[in-house]
Amino acid sequence: MWTFGYRAPMRLTDEEAHQRLVAAREALGDDAGESVHANAALEAARRALVMFQLALVAAMEKVRTPEGER
């Protein structure tokens, strides 16, 4: 059995997870895709990553809306 270089899986804190989501969004950049399909995929990925960031921050802060308000 190989043990060289093995490390146990790491658990990320909320802040570390957020930092990785931010880095992933930054890695995508703002360039448009060459094709309609590539552009649509990039735009969807950018939106999804931002939504994941916001959802994580909301969960971290335990944001709650007042009862009855939508």
- Residue 44, domain member (yes or no): yes
For 49, the domain range is 14-61
- Residue 69, domain member (yes or no): no
- Residue 57, domain member (yes or no): yes
Read off the pLDDT of residues 2-50 as tens digits, 9 standing for 90 and up.
Answer: 566 777 788 999 999 999 999 999 999 999 999 999 999 999 999 999 9
Listing DSSP states for 2-52 in one string gives --TT--PPPPPPHHHHHHHHHHHHHHH-SPPPSSHHHHHHHHHHHHHHHHH
What amino acid occupies position 66? Answer: P
- pTM score: 0.73
Name the domain count of the chain.
1
Residue 67 has pLDDT above 50, yes or no: yes
pLDDT number for residue 11: 93
